[in-house]
Structure formats: structure tokens, C-alpha cells
Structure 1
């Protein structure tokens, strides 16, 4: 990182500053108050030394500590200052960390769309430093935002990505953290067996006694699973253990969640007085941090209990409170809807990360099995390429075409499918042998590939049938390409391969229509090919445009 230092700065002062920053970062997991004190001390020294990188680092740690100790409103301006300082010296990792902190603070304040953008910016900054742990943290943030939107299937996608990046980073603490978030979403999707397995994995990565709060969280989720499986005694034991750990450690939010769970379970077990006791304790605690979602849930459970007891006044009071918090959450959700252009930005970043992920995984395999590098490359190619002709195979077409259609639809561009079939190919096999038939297909694909661009996709569809996907051209140019292909095959001197051999192709073209699926596009191209076959073969036909 870049440093701006005064000329009289001693090596001892530099070492002292580095040690302070390292100690502050290490203490953050267990003692945020100590992190705050160390970060303030490092900040003063960094200002005296005019050390820009250390200044940004200390400001970041200060903001992170304030977020835990004082809340989002206090932390947000400090984290934004850290971001400005990090950007000024192109400290991409610090910038990404600052953005992740900003995203967490914005989410706590209910500014979900701004939090989404901050996580997206964090991903882009992390890419510049190839920071694997920060990819995981940013994806965690994305997933939790979708959880807050009650879009659990989308949340699952990003939390699974976070878990994959955590595994690649080999950070034990992060591997536990991502699995905890993943298991919570699986519970929301009622995937109890899978959630249980993920929690067992989280246990193996749990660092104790440092992560007592996460231990409590594991007990809480196990309790919820036992509730759903009708194992009330086990559920009660797990939830009470979680509550005990959180109470002893002073984790108020976790304790509130556990009391809510115990209240629900007690009501389910027809123990209304115990349920009321747990829920009233939870209501008293949640007032300290005003979590709208928890307030909504607690008031709803109290409403159900009082309604069951016939206490209409108290039931109505809690139902009104429940409804007020529900409406506040809905207004937040409406204000914070993620926009289409933001999602496209995320898709572009994800594409880069997928490439990085693939590259990293392949590099790890190469390091582990250096003697198998050549074989690995062969296998990578074989997955998506036809063994005989070398062009793409059906699997590649099936996976890539829907993505090409999505990109074409977003850019409002053009895309065409050209279905190619070798005329009377069975006669070639029967008359000249299957070996000659293979040579014909291989040679023809070499000829056709020379007429395509790098971004076109020529794939073997099956047997002697092939598909060419071309985009960013109109129907007239596509017709010209198809006709050139037809002529190239017809005019090639096939007799040099085998005396008496003659080869021709028929082609059916279909222009993609807005909203059309890959299957529908290929079906129309196939229909046009059928017309070419029945129109005398060795010709090009276009599918009619569907005006329905």
C-alpha cells in the first residue's frame, strides 16, 4: 500500500503502528471496545506520521468497532471517510472492506437498495485485489439483503456463492459464518435435512471460546429444526442452551431471538404463561435496538396468545403494533427495490468472479496434481466440445444459448439460429463407410468454422445435424452467411477424399423473436430446415415470423 510519511519517521514508529493495527484487527472478533481504543491510538500516530495507508486502515477499524458498540448511524460517516481515504491511495482491499461495512450499516438503517449497491461496489473493488475472503463477505451481504426482501431462493444463490468463496479462501472463521447464514435460509425454505447437514459442517469450523455467539446460533437453528420435526424436548433443550450462552455473553440480539423461539414453542406446547414470560422478556430486550422484524414477530405471537385466552383488548393492542411494524417493513421494501440496471451490473461482476473461481480451482488442481495438467486440459475441453469434429457439443449449446438470449434481450440486439443438415448422409455412410462419413463431418466443420467469427457458436446438435448461433447481425447478412456455407460445402473437391463422393447441406434459419425461448427458436429453425429438405435440398430457407 502507498505510504506518505514524514522524513523523521523512525522504523520503531512504523513497527509500533503496524503492531497496533494488527492487534486492533485481532481484537475485533472478541473485544470491540479494545479494538476501538487501539484504532484511536493508531489513528493519532498515523496522522503524526502522515501515513495515508495506516490512516485509512485505522479509520476502517474505528468504523467497524463503532458499528458494534454505537450503532449504524455513528459508524456510517466514519466508514465513508475510510472509503474516501482508501480510494485516494488505490488501496482496493481497504476500499472493499469499507464498502462491506457501509453496506451492513445501511442495511441496519433500512436503506436496502443503497446497501445492495455498496455490496456490488465491494465486489468490484475486491476483484482488483483478488481478495477471496471479501468476495465471500460481499456475497453474504447480497444474500442477507434478499433474505430481508423475503426472496429466500435468490438469497440461497448468493449465500451458496459466499460459502464456495469461503472454502477457496481456507478461512476457518469465514467458513463457519457462511454456513450459519446458509443454514438459516435453508430453514426458511423448509429444507430441514439439508440445513441440519450444513449446521454440522459449521460446527467443525467453529472457533471456541471466541465464537460463543455463533455456538448459540447453531443451538438456536437446531432447536428450530427439532420444532419442525415434532421433537419438542430436544427443541426446548437447544433453545434454552442458546439463550443461556447469549445471556452470559451479553449478546442481546441473539438472546431476543432465542426468547422469541422459546415463546413460540411454549405456546405450541399449550404453556401460555411460559410463552408470555419469554415473549415479554424478548419485547423488553428488543426495545434496546429496535429491530422491526423481531418487533413484528413478537407482537404477532403475543396477539395469538391473548386472542386464544379471550383477552380482546390486549390481543387488539398487539395486533395493531404488529400491523404498524409490518407496514414500516413494507415501506422499506418498496423504497429499496433492486433495480434492473443494478442487477445487470451484478451479473457482469459475477461473470468475472466465475472466471476467477474457475481459474483458481484449476490452478489448485494443477498444484496438487502437476503431472496431470495435460490430461486436465483434455477433460476441460471434452466437456463442451464434440470429440469427432472439435466444434461445441449439445451440452455447450444447451447451457450457453439461454444466456446468449438473455444478453440479447437486455441489449435489444439480434440473434439468429442456423440449423445445418448434411443431405443424404446415410447414403454416404452406406456407400463409402462410416469412416468416410466421419471424415466428411470433420472436414466440413473445418470449412464451416473458417466462415464464422470468434463470438459465433457452431455446435453439433446430433448425428449429422449442426447449429450455428450468430448475433449482432440482421437477417440479410445471416442469409449471406448461410449461402456462403452452402456454396463452400458444395464446391469443395470431395472426390479428393473418396472417388465419387459428393456432399451438400441444407440450412434452415430463424431470427430470434423477443421473449422466445431457446427451445422455441431451435424448433423454428428446424422447421425451416425441413422446408429446405422438402424444397429440393442444397438450399437455404428462413422460418416465418410468428405474429401470434
Structure 2
């Protein structure tokens, strides 16, 4: 095998690991990009790896720049499947950076190509993305409907990896709708797949996080504390910013209920992570918890910064879905259901 073919095979393995939650550091990815110079397709693959590296650290703008460069490279080389896969990644990055309209644009374009390719796996991943947009709109029932559509497709395709990913999405929707038995059922099925055929450290930690979140809602606080501590440790070991922020916020809230002396410190640590990751929802939860903590300690003046922060966050601009994008969602939903008939 030539050196070029060996490098291409190496890049492919790294790209797969990156998608499964284990990307190299940004500096390592940039070295791969330098090594790929001169070959447009290899450079596009290296850009995707770089995008994963930045996304892993919640550096959304840098991730989007890398994914966009990858899309342009694949498009120039007529690699339509890879172009579509990267468009999906770009959409998720836009969603994570609170740009749902841009995400819908990305996925609409991706869906057109996926259907031309007759690639139902890519279509299912796009349906998951649209479900995430509905979460942003606060319509959790509609989000569940799209993710169940993706799960139905994943089961027909027989892809354990896709099935596991969709099961986690369905579980998170069921959790938000307080359908806890359904959430636990999906988590158990996903966990079984991770024990058998699927390897993804982020998903493994996410299962434990949602178990803890469900048990906290069911007031099984001692069990939830152990699970959320474990989820945070796993996310920390994997340097996953999103996972660390969510797990630590939920853990701090459980410690607050238990009147644990570490609650205040954990809430502040969680707030710092939420600020670093730019996750407003978690910031608000941490500020609310800190207010409760400081009042319980009779340190009323220490609660004032969190009061002020909550007021500022309430005044932030909330996006409204435009008529154009509402129509696009309805079209995607109708076309998606027709596809399964």
C-alpha cells in the first residue's frame, strides 16, 4: 500500500472515531490538515476531523468554519455522500450555537442530496436534526414524533449505530415529556447496543446522565447522585464540554435538594462550565440554584448577582419561527412520512 493510501486509511479511521465522540485535539487535527495538503478530498476529510475537534470543546464558530471548508472540498470533488454527511454535522453545530434557522437550511439542502442518493440512513439523521429544532421551539411532542420517525427508519435499516443514536434522542424527548418509563425503556435498549456492537464514549456517558436525570425527577435522589457523578466523571475524562455542563448542573441540583454542603460549590462550578459552553438554559438553572442556596445560608447579598443575571437572560431576544421556515418544516414532515409508506 502506498504512503498516500495508508494516510487516507488513517484519516478515515480518525474521522470515524471523531464522529463516535473521540476526536483528536485541534492542534493534532491541524497537523493532519497540513499533511493532507495537495489532495482536495483528503483535505476535506481532515477539515471534518478538525470540525469535530472544535465541536468537542464547544468552539462552535471554529467548528462551523471547518465543516464548511469540508463541504466545499467534497462538493468540488463530487463526493455527494460525504458532502451530505458534513452538511448534517454543520446543521447540528448551528443548532448548538442557537441558530436553528441556519440548521434547517443546512438540513433542507442535505435532505435533497440524500434523497437523490436514495440514502435512507442520511435521511434518518436529518429527521433527528429537525426533532432537535422542535425542542428549541418548545414543542417536545413534535420533536418526539420526528425522532420516532427516525427510529422506525433505523430499525428497518438494521443499523445498530444509527438505532443507538436515535434511541438516545427518543429517550431525551420522553424525559422532557415526563414519560419516564418510556425513557428508561429506550435507555436500556441503547445501553444493550453499547455493550454489544456500538462504541461511543459520549453516548455511554449520556445514558448514565439521563438515568440520573430521570431518577432525580422520580425523587430517587441517592441513586441519581451516584449516576450523575459517574456521568460527570466520564464526560470529564472524555473532555466533553456539553456533557460536563449538563451532568454537573443536574448533580448540583440534586445536592441542593439533599442539603449537601457541596451544593453551592458545585452550582458555581456548573455555572462556570455553562458560561464557557454558552448554554443559556443551564446558566439559568445554575443561577436559580445559587439563589436558593445563598438564601438558605442567609447570605442574601450573595444571591444578588444571580438575580441580576436571570433578569438579563429573560430580556434576551427569543427567536420566532418565520412563515418560510414553518412551511419548510411542514413540507419536510409530510415528505418524511410519505417516504415510509
TM tier, shorter chain? 0.7 to 0.9
1:111-130 aligned at under 5 Å gives the runs: 111-130=99-118
Q: Which runs of 5+ in 1 are unaligned?
A: 1-10, 48-52, 359-548
User: How far is 1:347 from its partner?
Assistant: 3.5
User: How far is 1:30 from its partner?
Assistant: 5.1
User: How far is 1:42 from its partner?
Assistant: 6.0
Q: Deviations over 1:426-460 (max 9, x none)?
A: xxxxxxxxxxxxxxxxxxxxxxxxxxxxxxxxxxx
* Closer, same or farther: CA 38–31 of 1 in aligned 2, 3 Å: farther
Pairing 1:43–2:36 present:
yes
Q: Contact (CA 8 Å) 2:22, 2:201: kept in 1 or not?
A: no
Q: CA separation in 2, counterparts of 1:80 and 1:93?
A: 15
Q: Deviations over 1:57-82 (max 9, x none)?
A: 44334433333357221122232233
1:50-449 aligned at under 5 Å gives the runs: 53-69=41-57, 71-206=59-194, 210-269=199-258, 271=259, 273-328=261-316, 331=317, 333-334=318-319, 337-358=320-341
Q: CA separation in 1, counterparts of 2:273 and 2:332?
A: 40
Pairing 1:27–2:17 present:
yes
TM-score by length of 2: 0.87
SS across alignment from 2:39: helix
1:451-462 aligned at under 5 Å gives the runs: none
* Closer, same or farther: CA 309–238 of 1 in aligned 2, 3 Å: same
More strand by share: 1
Q: How many residues align?
A: 337
* Closer, same or farther: CA 13–258 of 1 in aligned 2, 3 Å: closer
Q: Contact (CA 8 Å) 1:220, 1:242: kept in 2 or not?
A: yes
Q: CA separation in 1, counterparts of 2:80 and 2:322?
A: 26
Q: Contact (CA 8 Å) 1:186, 1:195: kept in 2 or not?
A: yes
Q: Contact (CA 8 Å) 2:91, 2:103: kept in 1 or not?
A: yes
More helix by share: 2
Q: Contact (CA 8 Å) 1:293, 1:325: kept in 2 or not?
A: no
Question: For the aligned residues, what is the CA RMSD?
Answer: 2.7
Q: CA separation in 1, counterparts of 2:39 and 2:194?
A: 35
Q: Contact (CA 8 Å) 2:232, 2:247: kept in 1 or not?
A: yes
User: How far is 1:160 from its partner?
Assistant: 1.6
* Closer, same or farther: CA 201–141 of 1 in aligned 2, 3 Å: same
User: How far is 1:175 from its partner?
Assistant: 1.6
Give the number of the structure whose alpha-carbon radius of gyration is greater: 1
Q: CA separation in 2, counterparts of 1:169 and 1:163?
A: 10
Between 1 and 2, higher relative CO (CA 8 Å, sep ≥ 6) is seen in 2
Q: CA separation in 1, counterparts of 2:31 and 2:156?
A: 31
Q: Deviations over 1:361-419 (max 9, x none)?
A: xxxxxxxxxxxxxxxxxxxxxxxxxxxxxxxxxxxxxxxxxxxxxxxxxxxxxxxxxxx
Q: Contact (CA 8 Å) 1:100, 1:138: kept in 2 or not?
A: yes
User: How far is 1:84 from its partner?
Assistant: 2.9
User: How far is 1:298 from its partner?
Assistant: 0.6
Q: Contact (CA 8 Å) 2:56, 2:239: kept in 1 or not?
A: no
User: How far is 1:211 from its partner?
Assistant: 2.5
* Closer, same or farther: CA 59–211 of 1 in aligned 2, 3 Å: closer
Q: Which runs of 5+ in 2 are unaligned?
A: none
Q: CA separation in 1, counterparts of 2:4 and 2:238?
A: 36
Q: CA separation in 2, counterparts of 1:56 and 1:344?
A: 33
